[in-house]
Amino acid sequence: MTSNTETKSLLSVRDQYGMEAVDAGEQPVDVVMLWTVLALTALGVVMVYSSSAVFADELRQDSSFFLKRQLLSLGLGVAAMLFVSQLRMDILRKLSAPIFLAAVVLAVMVLIPGVGMTERGSTRCLPVGPLQMQPAELVKLGLIIYLAAVLARKRESVREFKTGFLGPVMIGTVPIILILAQPDLGTTFLLGAILFLMLFVAGARISFLMGAVICALPFIWYAISSASYRMRRIMSFLDPWADRQDGGYQVVESLISIGSGSVFGVGLGDGKQKLFFLPDAHNDFIFAIIGEELGLIGTMGVIVLFVVLIWRGLRAAFKAEDAFSAYLAVGLTSLLGIQAFVHMSVVTALLPTTGLTLPFISYGGSSLLICMVAVGLLLAISRGRGGFLSPAPGDPR
């Protein structure tokens, strides 16, 4: 038994309750996870078109402008998902450091004047031909993969501050600082939450984790208070109706959108808030349009789909064949679950406004592609050695 200042690793809990890893070479693909993701992406295609058609026609004189790009990203995402779902985890583990380094380099490049693209006061994108790439999305994936490799290597020493805990924290701090410099506070908090959860699951002491959070609080406060628009978001979050035409505008319009949908919604395509009332209706606030057009039934359906996805992701973690796969599954599931939770909480005024999209549903090529890759990796973990890149039965890992 551990003391109240420690946590058990995921693998220790699995072993204690007899939840041993199965011979994944005999396991089929997780069809429940696959169909859940396909349902989310199908809904996303429909809602991106519904929420952006009028805006796209006004902006680009092409009502299907955003739909075409989303379909292109979805096609690339499905191909990437199918490929990585066949990947062996030992190969990915060997590539973890180069993937993380590439993500960090891209995050640095986006901050170089003249290289990164600046919109609305933030520099978050790199031009890739006619498209744009957000390095922050790759950073999420790269950090999770590398952290999983490091935690698997330090599994026996993660409860020791210098030898097991400090290293992963410092690794996670590097991309967090780079993303904060863009600035992108929402993704910064997301990365911090994933780092916290992965260390918790790996068995880090609660005292270390709480100490790290306490040490981070002054920096969090400085990041918020140093920018006037962030302080306005906090104040408008506390009372959005008091700043109806400024800081609280998006939140109020979002609440109006959800409220007008009632139980069954006003009908697909018949929403009014997307008609230039609610900014970013096709990405940062798409959940509000779902609430307006599909009602409570639609929003609850989305929540249920994400709950199923989280369940299947955690199931893959508990059934993983090795520590790296288990920690990777936890990190990827946390990424999808936390981001969905934050997006829906922002739209319903439960959290201050951030710029996080709703996985698989919001418009955004980089986000959709990385989410599909994350699912592909979860499918690979759930099937173990069953892919075409797998070793022959009996080969050492």
Confirm if 327 and 148 have CB atoms less than 8 A apart.
Answer: yes
| pLDDT value, residue 222 | 86
Q: Residue 314 above 60 pLDDT? A: yes
Q: Residue 4 above 90 pLDDT? A: no
| pLDDT value, residue 156 | 82
Mean of the per-residue pLDDT values of the chain: 87
Span 369-377, mean pLDDT?
97
Phi, psi of 328 (to 5 degrees): -65, -45
Residue 252's CB is within 10 A of a number of other CB atoms, namely 19
Prediction pTM value: 0.89
Span 367-377, mean pLDDT?
96
Q: In the structure, what pLDDT confidence band is assigned to residue 317 with cuts at 50, 70 and 90? A: very high
Q: In the structure, what pLDDT confidence band is assigned to residue 124 with cuts at 50, 70 and 90? A: confident
| pLDDT value, residue 10 | 67
Residue pLDDT, tens place only, 197-214? 999 999 999 999 999 999
Residue pLDDT, tens place only, 297-313? 999 999 999 999 999 99
Residue pLDDT, tens place only, 147-194? 999 999 988 888 898 888 999 999 999 999 999 988 888 999 999 999
Q: Residue 257 above 50 pLDDT? A: yes
Q: Which of 48-62, 91-105, 112-126 is predicted least confidently?
A: 112-126
The domains of the chain are located at: 32-383
Q: Which of 90-99, 156-165, 375-384 is predicted least confidently?
A: 156-165
| pLDDT value, residue 397 | 36
DSSP string, 37-67: HHHHHHHHHHHHHHHHHHHHHHHHS-TTHHH
Span 251-270, mean pLDDT?
93
Confirm if 384 and 29 have CB atoms less than 8 A apart.
Answer: no
CA distance 123 to 116: 6
Task: Calculate the CA 116 to chain-centre distance.
Answer: 22
Q: Residue 342 above 70 pLDDT? A: yes
Q: Residue 396 above 60 pLDDT? A: no
CA distance 214 to 35: 41
> What are the helix (H) ranges across 262-397?
286-318, 323-347, 365-383
- Please indicate whether residue 131 or residue 392 has the higher confidence score (pLDDT): 131
CA distance 361 to 44: 4
